[in-house]
Structure 1
Amino acid sequence: MATEPATGETANEIEKLRELIKRARVVLWDFDGPICRLFAGHKAEHVAGDLVEWLEGRGLHGLLTETERESLDPHIVLRAVDRRHPGSDLVAELEERLTQEELRAASSAMPTAYADPVIRTWTAVGSRLAIATNNSPRVVRSYLETRGLTACFAPHIYGRTQDLHRLKPDPHCLNRALSAMGAAPGAALMIGDSPSDLDAAVRAGVPFLGYARNEQKAKLLRAAGAGHVVGSLEPLLGLLRR
Protein backbone atom coordinates (compact mmCIF):
# COMPACT_ATOMS: atom_id res chain seq x y z
CA MET A 1 0.00 0.00 0.00
CA ALA A 2 1.51 3.36 -1.04
CA THR A 3 2.30 5.97 1.57
CA GLU A 4 2.69 9.72 1.22
CA PRO A 5 6.37 10.62 0.71
CA ALA A 6 8.16 12.25 3.63
CA THR A 7 9.27 15.08 1.35
CA GLY A 8 5.69 16.27 0.96
CA GLU A 9 5.91 16.20 -2.85
CA THR A 10 2.27 15.33 -3.49
CA ALA A 11 0.24 17.67 -5.69
CA ASN A 12 -1.49 19.03 -2.59
CA GLU A 13 1.77 19.72 -0.79
CA ILE A 14 3.29 21.35 -3.88
CA GLU A 15 0.31 23.70 -4.04
CA LYS A 16 0.77 24.58 -0.36
CA LEU A 17 4.45 25.30 -1.03
CA ARG A 18 3.47 27.51 -3.96
CA GLU A 19 1.20 29.57 -1.70
CA LEU A 20 3.91 29.94 0.96
CA ILE A 21 6.41 31.12 -1.63
CA LYS A 22 3.99 33.53 -3.31
CA ARG A 23 3.31 35.32 -0.01
CA ALA A 24 6.95 35.52 1.11
CA ARG A 25 8.56 38.87 0.43
CA VAL A 26 11.22 38.13 3.06
CA VAL A 27 12.69 34.67 3.73
CA LEU A 28 14.35 33.98 7.08
CA TRP A 29 16.69 30.98 7.04
CA ASP A 30 18.01 28.95 9.91
CA PHE A 31 21.64 28.14 9.14
CA ASP A 32 22.70 24.71 10.42
CA GLY A 33 20.29 22.37 8.65
CA PRO A 34 18.52 24.19 5.81
CA ILE A 35 21.71 25.76 4.41
CA CYS A 36 24.36 23.26 5.47
CA ARG A 37 25.25 20.52 7.91
CA LEU A 38 27.70 22.56 9.95
CA PHE A 39 29.04 19.65 11.97
CA ALA A 40 29.24 17.13 9.12
CA GLY A 41 33.01 16.75 9.49
CA HIS A 42 33.65 18.20 12.95
CA LYS A 43 31.08 16.43 15.09
CA ALA A 44 28.86 18.41 17.46
CA GLU A 45 29.08 15.69 20.11
CA HIS A 46 32.87 16.04 20.16
CA VAL A 47 32.54 19.80 20.55
CA ALA A 48 30.10 19.34 23.45
CA GLY A 49 32.48 16.84 25.06
CA ASP A 50 35.39 19.26 24.75
CA LEU A 51 33.36 22.04 26.40
CA VAL A 52 32.43 19.71 29.27
CA GLU A 53 36.07 18.66 29.70
CA TRP A 54 37.16 22.30 29.71
CA LEU A 55 34.69 23.08 32.49
CA GLU A 56 35.78 20.03 34.48
CA GLY A 57 39.42 21.05 34.05
CA ARG A 58 38.54 24.29 35.83
CA GLY A 59 36.91 22.43 38.70
CA LEU A 60 33.39 23.26 37.48
CA HIS A 61 32.08 19.72 37.11
CA GLY A 62 29.12 20.53 39.36
CA LEU A 63 27.84 23.30 37.07
CA LEU A 64 26.17 20.74 34.82
CA THR A 65 23.67 18.04 35.60
CA GLU A 66 24.40 14.53 34.38
CA THR A 67 21.80 14.96 31.65
CA GLU A 68 23.45 18.20 30.45
CA ARG A 69 26.90 16.61 30.48
CA GLU A 70 25.64 13.71 28.35
CA SER A 71 23.50 15.80 25.97
CA LEU A 72 26.10 15.82 23.16
CA ASP A 73 24.76 19.28 22.24
CA PRO A 74 27.17 22.21 22.70
CA HIS A 75 24.31 24.71 22.87
CA ILE A 76 22.77 22.84 25.82
CA VAL A 77 26.11 23.03 27.65
CA LEU A 78 26.48 26.74 26.91
CA ARG A 79 22.94 27.64 27.94
CA ALA A 80 23.17 25.58 31.12
CA VAL A 81 26.23 27.52 32.27
CA ASP A 82 24.61 30.82 31.30
CA ARG A 83 21.53 30.02 33.41
CA ARG A 84 23.75 29.58 36.47
CA HIS A 85 26.22 32.42 35.78
CA PRO A 86 24.46 34.82 33.38
CA GLY A 87 26.64 37.47 31.79
CA SER A 88 29.80 36.20 33.48
CA ASP A 89 33.34 36.08 32.09
CA LEU A 90 33.04 32.30 32.30
CA VAL A 91 30.08 32.32 29.91
CA ALA A 92 31.83 34.75 27.55
CA GLU A 93 34.90 32.51 27.42
CA LEU A 94 32.82 29.38 26.90
CA GLU A 95 30.84 31.08 24.10
CA GLU A 96 34.09 32.11 22.39
CA ARG A 97 35.37 28.55 22.63
CA LEU A 98 32.17 27.34 20.97
CA THR A 99 32.53 29.98 18.25
CA GLN A 100 36.07 28.80 17.49
CA GLU A 101 34.84 25.22 17.25
CA GLU A 102 32.04 26.31 14.91
CA LEU A 103 34.59 28.13 12.74
CA ARG A 104 36.60 24.92 12.52
CA ALA A 105 33.43 23.03 11.61
CA ALA A 106 32.54 25.55 8.88
CA SER A 107 35.60 24.49 6.86
CA SER A 108 34.20 20.96 6.51
CA ALA A 109 30.47 21.78 6.52
CA MET A 110 28.36 19.92 3.97
CA PRO A 111 26.07 22.11 1.84
CA THR A 112 22.43 21.08 1.98
CA ALA A 113 21.33 19.71 -1.37
CA TYR A 114 19.76 22.43 -3.58
CA ALA A 115 20.29 25.13 -0.93
CA ASP A 116 22.74 27.19 -2.99
CA PRO A 117 20.59 27.40 -6.15
CA VAL A 118 17.42 27.97 -4.10
CA ILE A 119 19.09 30.90 -2.33
CA ARG A 120 20.42 32.41 -5.55
CA THR A 121 17.13 31.92 -7.41
CA TRP A 122 15.02 33.36 -4.59
CA THR A 123 17.27 36.41 -4.56
CA ALA A 124 17.10 36.73 -8.34
CA VAL A 125 13.29 36.78 -8.38
CA GLY A 126 13.23 39.70 -5.96
CA SER A 127 12.75 38.31 -2.45
CA ARG A 128 15.00 39.50 0.36
CA LEU A 129 16.80 36.92 2.47
CA ALA A 130 18.09 36.93 6.04
CA ILE A 131 19.60 34.38 8.40
CA ALA A 132 18.24 33.89 11.92
CA THR A 133 20.35 31.34 13.77
CA ASN A 134 21.68 30.23 17.14
CA ASN A 135 25.15 29.88 15.62
CA SER A 136 27.72 32.66 15.68
CA PRO A 137 27.24 35.22 12.90
CA ARG A 138 31.03 35.03 12.34
CA VAL A 139 30.60 31.38 11.42
CA VAL A 140 27.71 32.09 9.06
CA ARG A 141 29.70 34.77 7.24
CA SER A 142 32.71 32.46 6.96
CA TYR A 143 30.62 29.72 5.37
CA LEU A 144 28.69 32.03 3.03
CA GLU A 145 31.94 33.51 1.72
CA THR A 146 33.21 30.06 0.73
CA ARG A 147 29.99 29.43 -1.23
CA GLY A 148 29.79 32.85 -2.86
CA LEU A 149 26.45 33.54 -1.13
CA THR A 150 27.29 36.52 1.07
CA ALA A 151 25.62 39.05 -1.22
CA CYS A 152 22.33 37.12 -1.05
CA PHE A 153 22.04 37.83 2.69
CA ALA A 154 24.31 40.70 3.72
CA PRO A 155 23.89 42.59 5.90
CA HIS A 156 20.99 40.60 7.33
CA ILE A 157 22.73 37.90 9.35
CA TYR A 158 21.38 37.59 12.88
CA GLY A 159 23.04 35.04 15.11
CA ARG A 160 24.13 34.30 18.64
CA THR A 161 24.95 37.26 20.88
CA GLN A 162 26.10 37.53 24.49
CA ASP A 163 22.41 37.55 25.48
CA LEU A 164 22.17 33.78 25.42
CA HIS A 165 18.67 33.75 26.87
CA ARG A 166 17.63 35.28 23.53
CA LEU A 167 18.53 32.20 21.51
CA LYS A 168 15.70 30.40 19.74
CA PRO A 169 13.01 29.43 20.66
CA ASP A 170 13.02 33.08 21.74
CA PRO A 171 12.02 35.01 18.57
CA HIS A 172 14.63 37.74 19.14
CA CYS A 173 16.74 37.06 16.03
CA LEU A 174 13.64 36.80 13.83
CA ASN A 175 12.29 40.08 15.20
CA ARG A 176 15.65 41.75 14.61
CA ALA A 177 15.58 40.64 10.99
CA LEU A 178 11.99 41.76 10.42
CA SER A 179 12.64 45.15 12.03
CA ALA A 180 15.82 45.79 10.06
CA MET A 181 14.16 44.83 6.79
CA GLY A 182 10.93 46.71 7.48
CA ALA A 183 8.90 43.56 6.90
CA ALA A 184 5.58 42.51 8.39
CA PRO A 185 5.62 39.02 9.93
CA GLY A 186 2.86 37.82 7.61
CA ALA A 187 4.90 38.76 4.54
CA ALA A 188 7.83 36.62 5.68
CA LEU A 189 8.64 32.91 5.73
CA MET A 190 10.92 31.05 8.16
CA ILE A 191 12.76 27.92 6.99
CA GLY A 192 14.03 25.82 9.89
CA ASP A 193 14.75 22.23 10.86
CA SER A 194 13.97 22.07 14.57
CA PRO A 195 11.01 22.57 16.93
CA SER A 196 12.80 25.59 18.41
CA ASP A 197 12.80 27.21 14.95
CA LEU A 198 9.07 26.54 14.68
CA ASP A 199 8.41 27.91 18.16
CA ALA A 200 10.34 31.09 17.39
CA ALA A 201 8.44 31.56 14.12
CA VAL A 202 5.08 31.08 15.82
CA ARG A 203 5.98 33.59 18.54
CA ALA A 204 7.11 36.09 15.90
CA GLY A 205 3.96 35.55 13.82
CA VAL A 206 5.93 34.28 10.82
CA PRO A 207 4.72 31.40 8.59
CA PHE A 208 7.00 28.36 8.84
CA LEU A 209 8.38 25.77 6.45
CA GLY A 210 10.13 22.81 8.03
CA TYR A 211 13.14 21.17 6.40
CA ALA A 212 13.87 17.61 7.56
CA ARG A 213 16.78 15.66 6.12
CA ASN A 214 15.46 12.42 7.59
CA GLU A 215 12.20 10.96 8.83
CA GLN A 216 13.15 11.35 12.51
CA LYS A 217 13.51 15.10 12.11
CA ALA A 218 10.28 15.22 10.11
CA LYS A 219 8.41 13.45 12.91
CA LEU A 220 9.79 15.88 15.50
CA LEU A 221 8.67 18.88 13.44
CA ARG A 222 5.21 17.48 12.81
CA ALA A 223 4.81 16.52 16.47
CA ALA A 224 5.68 20.13 17.38
CA GLY A 225 2.89 21.37 15.10
CA ALA A 226 4.62 22.11 11.78
CA GLY A 227 2.02 22.11 9.02
CA HIS A 228 4.51 22.18 6.13
CA VAL A 229 7.59 19.91 6.12
CA VAL A 230 9.79 19.01 3.14
CA GLY A 231 12.54 16.42 2.98
CA SER A 232 14.30 18.20 0.12
CA LEU A 233 14.63 21.76 -1.14
CA GLU A 234 14.30 20.56 -4.75
CA PRO A 235 10.55 21.27 -5.04
CA LEU A 236 11.19 24.86 -3.87
CA LEU A 237 13.74 25.29 -6.62
CA GLY A 238 11.30 23.99 -9.23
CA LEU A 239 8.55 26.34 -8.05
CA LEU A 240 10.87 29.36 -7.96
CA ARG A 241 12.15 28.67 -11.47
CA ARG A 242 8.59 28.47 -12.76
Structure 2
Amino acid sequence: MKHTTEHLDRTIAGAKAVLWGFDGPVCRLFAAHRSERVAAGLAEWLAGRGLRGLLTDEERALADPHVVLRAVDRRHPGSDLVAELEERLTQEELRAVDTARPTAWADPLIRTWTAVGARLAVTTDDSPRAVRAYLAGRGLADCFAPHVYGRTRQLQLLKPEPHCLIRALTATGTVPSEALMIGDTPSDLEAARKAGVPFLGHARNDAQRHLLQRAGAGLVVDSLEVVLRSVEQLGRVRRGGGGGAR
Protein backbone atom coordinates (compact mmCIF):
# COMPACT_ATOMS: atom_id res chain seq x y z
CA MET A 1 0.00 0.00 0.00
CA LYS A 2 2.84 2.41 0.84
CA HIS A 3 4.43 1.73 -2.55
CA THR A 4 1.11 2.47 -4.27
CA THR A 5 0.65 5.69 -2.28
CA GLU A 6 4.16 6.87 -3.13
CA HIS A 7 3.59 6.06 -6.82
CA LEU A 8 0.31 7.98 -6.73
CA ASP A 9 1.91 10.97 -5.00
CA ARG A 10 4.70 11.15 -7.58
CA THR A 11 2.25 10.83 -10.45
CA ILE A 12 0.04 13.60 -9.10
CA ALA A 13 2.96 15.90 -8.30
CA GLY A 14 4.09 15.71 -11.92
CA ALA A 15 0.69 16.48 -13.44
CA LYS A 16 0.31 20.06 -14.64
CA ALA A 17 -2.84 19.10 -16.57
CA VAL A 18 -5.41 16.44 -15.69
CA LEU A 19 -7.48 14.93 -18.49
CA TRP A 20 -10.66 13.40 -17.15
CA GLY A 21 -12.80 10.75 -18.70
CA PHE A 22 -16.42 11.73 -18.10
CA ASP A 23 -18.87 8.86 -17.71
CA GLY A 24 -17.22 6.95 -14.86
CA PRO A 25 -14.52 9.19 -13.38
CA VAL A 26 -16.70 12.33 -13.09
CA CYS A 27 -20.17 10.79 -12.86
CA ARG A 28 -22.34 7.85 -13.82
CA LEU A 29 -24.16 9.49 -16.68
CA PHE A 30 -26.61 6.63 -17.19
CA ALA A 31 -27.25 5.92 -13.51
CA ALA A 32 -31.04 6.00 -14.01
CA HIS A 33 -31.51 6.70 -17.72
CA ARG A 34 -30.06 3.29 -18.54
CA SER A 35 -27.57 3.03 -21.40
CA GLU A 36 -28.99 -0.40 -22.29
CA ARG A 37 -32.38 1.19 -23.01
CA VAL A 38 -30.73 3.91 -25.05
CA ALA A 39 -28.88 1.31 -27.15
CA ALA A 40 -32.08 -0.66 -27.64
CA GLY A 41 -33.90 2.52 -28.67
CA LEU A 42 -31.26 3.34 -31.28
CA ALA A 43 -31.41 -0.21 -32.62
CA GLU A 44 -35.21 -0.04 -32.80
CA TRP A 45 -35.03 3.28 -34.64
CA LEU A 46 -32.77 1.67 -37.24
CA ALA A 47 -35.03 -1.37 -37.52
CA GLY A 48 -38.04 0.89 -38.03
CA ARG A 49 -36.32 2.28 -41.10
CA GLY A 50 -35.62 -1.16 -42.51
CA LEU A 51 -31.99 -1.03 -41.39
CA ARG A 52 -31.91 -3.80 -38.79
CA GLY A 53 -29.18 -5.53 -40.79
CA LEU A 54 -26.72 -2.72 -40.07
CA LEU A 55 -26.13 -4.28 -36.65
CA THR A 56 -24.89 -7.77 -35.97
CA ASP A 57 -26.50 -9.86 -33.24
CA GLU A 58 -23.32 -9.42 -31.20
CA GLU A 59 -23.44 -5.63 -31.51
CA ARG A 60 -27.07 -5.56 -30.41
CA ALA A 61 -26.31 -7.90 -27.49
CA LEU A 62 -23.61 -5.56 -26.16
CA ALA A 63 -26.39 -3.04 -25.38
CA ASP A 64 -23.99 -0.10 -25.69
CA PRO A 65 -25.16 3.03 -27.56
CA HIS A 66 -21.61 3.88 -28.58
CA VAL A 67 -21.23 0.43 -30.14
CA VAL A 68 -24.40 1.03 -32.16
CA LEU A 69 -23.21 4.44 -33.34
CA ARG A 70 -19.74 3.26 -34.31
CA ALA A 71 -21.08 0.16 -36.08
CA VAL A 72 -23.32 2.25 -38.30
CA ASP A 73 -20.52 4.72 -38.98
CA ARG A 74 -18.22 1.91 -40.11
CA ARG A 75 -20.82 0.82 -42.67
CA HIS A 76 -21.99 4.30 -43.73
CA PRO A 77 -19.17 6.69 -42.76
CA GLY A 78 -20.01 10.37 -42.76
CA SER A 79 -23.60 9.78 -43.90
CA ASP A 80 -26.75 11.71 -42.96
CA LEU A 81 -27.89 8.51 -41.27
CA VAL A 82 -24.90 8.60 -38.93
CA ALA A 83 -25.41 12.30 -38.27
CA GLU A 84 -29.03 11.72 -37.25
CA LEU A 85 -28.12 8.71 -35.11
CA GLU A 86 -25.39 10.72 -33.37
CA GLU A 87 -27.83 13.55 -32.65
CA ARG A 88 -30.32 11.04 -31.23
CA LEU A 89 -27.62 9.72 -28.91
CA THR A 90 -26.69 13.28 -27.90
CA GLN A 91 -30.31 13.99 -26.97
CA GLU A 92 -30.40 10.82 -24.85
CA GLU A 93 -27.18 11.89 -23.10
CA LEU A 94 -28.65 15.32 -22.41
CA ARG A 95 -31.73 13.69 -20.88
CA ALA A 96 -29.48 11.48 -18.77
CA VAL A 97 -27.75 14.52 -17.26
CA ASP A 98 -30.80 15.17 -15.06
CA THR A 99 -30.38 11.83 -13.28
CA ALA A 100 -26.61 11.41 -13.51
CA ARG A 101 -24.95 10.38 -10.27
CA PRO A 102 -21.69 12.11 -9.25
CA THR A 103 -18.79 9.75 -8.73
CA ALA A 104 -17.86 9.64 -5.06
CA TRP A 105 -15.23 12.28 -4.20
CA ALA A 106 -15.09 13.60 -7.77
CA ASP A 107 -16.55 17.04 -7.05
CA PRO A 108 -14.19 17.94 -4.18
CA LEU A 109 -11.25 16.43 -6.06
CA ILE A 110 -11.98 18.56 -9.12
CA ARG A 111 -12.23 21.73 -7.02
CA THR A 112 -9.12 20.93 -4.99
CA TRP A 113 -7.01 20.08 -8.04
CA THR A 114 -8.08 23.37 -9.60
CA ALA A 115 -7.17 25.22 -6.40
CA VAL A 116 -3.61 23.82 -6.39
CA GLY A 117 -3.08 25.09 -9.93
CA ALA A 118 -3.67 22.13 -12.25
CA ARG A 119 -5.32 22.70 -15.61
CA LEU A 120 -8.32 20.38 -16.00
CA ALA A 121 -9.93 19.09 -19.19
CA VAL A 122 -12.60 16.53 -20.04
CA THR A 123 -11.61 14.05 -22.74
CA THR A 124 -14.53 11.80 -23.59
CA ASP A 125 -16.51 9.95 -26.25
CA ASP A 126 -19.71 11.51 -24.89
CA SER A 127 -21.31 14.62 -26.31
CA PRO A 128 -19.57 17.83 -25.18
CA ARG A 129 -23.04 19.37 -24.87
CA ALA A 130 -23.98 16.79 -22.25
CA VAL A 131 -20.68 17.25 -20.43
CA ARG A 132 -21.10 21.03 -20.25
CA ALA A 133 -24.68 20.66 -19.05
CA TYR A 134 -23.61 18.31 -16.26
CA LEU A 135 -20.67 20.45 -15.16
CA ALA A 136 -22.83 23.57 -15.10
CA GLY A 137 -25.43 21.80 -12.98
CA ARG A 138 -22.77 20.77 -10.44
CA GLY A 139 -21.11 24.20 -10.34
CA LEU A 140 -17.95 22.75 -11.87
CA ALA A 141 -17.93 24.47 -15.26
CA ASP A 142 -15.32 27.05 -14.24
CA CYS A 143 -12.92 24.28 -13.19
CA PHE A 144 -12.76 23.00 -16.77
CA ALA A 145 -13.75 25.94 -19.00
CA PRO A 146 -13.19 25.97 -21.85
CA HIS A 147 -11.51 22.57 -21.96
CA VAL A 148 -14.22 20.05 -22.81
CA TYR A 149 -13.25 17.74 -25.68
CA GLY A 150 -15.93 15.26 -26.56
CA ARG A 151 -17.45 13.38 -29.45
CA THR A 152 -17.42 15.00 -32.87
CA ARG A 153 -18.95 13.79 -36.14
CA GLN A 154 -15.55 12.22 -36.94
CA LEU A 155 -16.41 9.02 -35.14
CA GLN A 156 -13.29 7.23 -36.35
CA LEU A 157 -11.37 9.49 -33.96
CA LEU A 158 -13.10 8.24 -30.81
CA LYS A 159 -11.00 6.37 -28.25
CA PRO A 160 -8.82 4.39 -28.36
CA GLU A 161 -7.62 7.02 -30.82
CA PRO A 162 -5.97 9.85 -28.83
CA HIS A 163 -7.64 12.70 -30.73
CA CYS A 164 -9.49 14.28 -27.79
CA LEU A 165 -6.42 13.97 -25.56
CA ILE A 166 -4.21 15.65 -28.12
CA ARG A 167 -6.72 18.46 -28.48
CA ALA A 168 -6.65 18.95 -24.71
CA LEU A 169 -2.84 18.91 -24.56
CA THR A 170 -2.57 21.43 -27.36
CA ALA A 171 -5.18 23.77 -25.91
CA THR A 172 -3.69 23.70 -22.41
CA GLY A 173 -0.13 24.00 -23.68
CA THR A 174 0.92 20.83 -21.89
CA VAL A 175 3.53 18.30 -22.95
CA PRO A 176 2.25 14.71 -22.60
CA SER A 177 4.69 13.72 -19.85
CA GLU A 178 3.37 16.53 -17.63
CA ALA A 179 -0.28 15.51 -18.00
CA LEU A 180 -2.32 12.75 -16.38
CA MET A 181 -5.40 11.00 -17.68
CA ILE A 182 -8.01 9.56 -15.34
CA GLY A 183 -10.01 6.86 -17.08
CA ASP A 184 -11.94 3.68 -16.36
CA THR A 185 -11.73 1.63 -19.56
CA PRO A 186 -9.02 -0.11 -21.57
CA SER A 187 -9.79 2.27 -24.46
CA ASP A 188 -8.98 5.19 -22.15
CA LEU A 189 -5.68 3.52 -21.30
CA GLU A 190 -4.82 2.87 -24.94
CA ALA A 191 -5.63 6.46 -25.91
CA ALA A 192 -3.38 7.72 -23.12
CA ARG A 193 -0.58 5.44 -24.28
CA LYS A 194 -0.88 6.66 -27.86
CA ALA A 195 -0.78 10.26 -26.65
CA GLY A 196 2.17 9.57 -24.34
CA VAL A 197 0.17 10.61 -21.27
CA PRO A 198 0.54 8.88 -17.86
CA PHE A 199 -2.64 7.05 -16.83
CA LEU A 200 -4.52 6.67 -13.56
CA GLY A 201 -7.21 4.02 -13.64
CA HIS A 202 -10.41 4.40 -11.65
CA ALA A 203 -12.31 1.17 -10.97
CA ARG A 204 -15.62 1.07 -9.13
CA ASN A 205 -15.51 -2.72 -8.70
CA ASP A 206 -13.16 -5.71 -8.87
CA ALA A 207 -14.18 -6.64 -12.41
CA GLN A 208 -13.30 -3.19 -13.69
CA ARG A 209 -10.01 -3.21 -11.78
CA HIS A 210 -9.02 -6.57 -13.27
CA LEU A 211 -9.97 -5.38 -16.75
CA LEU A 212 -7.74 -2.31 -16.43
CA GLN A 213 -4.89 -4.30 -14.94
CA ARG A 214 -5.07 -6.94 -17.67
CA ALA A 215 -4.86 -4.11 -20.20
CA GLY A 216 -1.63 -3.00 -18.50
CA ALA A 217 -2.68 -0.19 -16.18
CA GLY A 218 0.03 0.14 -13.54
CA LEU A 219 -1.86 2.48 -11.22
CA VAL A 220 -5.53 1.84 -10.41
CA VAL A 221 -7.57 3.22 -7.51
CA ASP A 222 -10.91 1.98 -6.22
CA SER A 223 -11.91 5.37 -4.85
CA LEU A 224 -11.06 8.94 -5.74
CA GLU A 225 -10.77 9.70 -2.02
CA VAL A 226 -7.15 8.54 -1.99
CA VAL A 227 -6.46 10.82 -4.95
CA LEU A 228 -8.10 13.74 -3.15
CA ARG A 229 -5.92 13.16 -0.08
CA SER A 230 -2.81 13.12 -2.26
CA VAL A 231 -3.79 16.37 -3.99
CA GLU A 232 -4.54 17.96 -0.61
CA GLN A 233 -1.08 16.90 0.55
CA LEU A 234 0.43 18.43 -2.57
CA GLY A 235 -1.38 21.67 -1.83
CA ARG A 236 0.03 21.78 1.69
CA VAL A 237 3.54 21.22 0.38
CA ARG A 238 3.17 23.98 -2.21
CA ARG A 239 1.92 26.37 0.47
CA GLY A 240 5.01 25.58 2.50
CA GLY A 241 3.23 23.39 5.00
CA GLY A 242 5.63 20.48 4.57
CA GLY A 243 4.84 16.81 4.19
CA GLY A 244 3.52 15.86 7.59
CA ALA A 245 1.87 12.60 8.50
CA ARG A 246 -0.73 11.22 6.16
**TM-score normalised per structure 2:** 0.94
CA apart distance, 1:12: 1.2
Residue of structure 1 aligned with 2:104, choices 90, 113, 129? 113
Instruction: Tell me, yes or no, if structure 1 residue 220 matches structure 2 residue 211.
Output: yes
* Number of the residue aligned with 1:7: none
Q: Deviations over 1:152-211 (max 9, x none)?
A: 001000000000000000000000000111110000000000000000000000000000
What is the correspondence of 1:94-113 to structure 2 with a 5 Å cutoff?
A: 94-113=85-104
Give 1:1-242 correspondences, 5 Å limit.
Answer: 10-242=1-233
Q: Percent identity?
A: 65
Instruction: Measure, in 2, the Cα distance between the counterparts of 1:194 and 1:71.
Output: 15
- 2:50 is paired with a residue whose SS is coil
Q: Distance in 2 between the 1:174 and 1:22 partners?
A: 20
Structure 1 gaps of 5+ residues are 1-9
Gaps of 5+ in 2: 234-246
1:73-119 Cα deviation digits (max 9, x unpaired): 00000000000000000000000000000011111000000000000
Q: AA paired with 1:78? A: L
Misfit runs of 4+, over 6 Å: none
Give the drift of 1:67: 0.5
Give the SS at the match of 1:191.
strand
What residue identity is the alignment partner of 1:124? Answer: A
Aligned residues: 233
The CA RMSD measured in Å over matched residues stands at 0.5
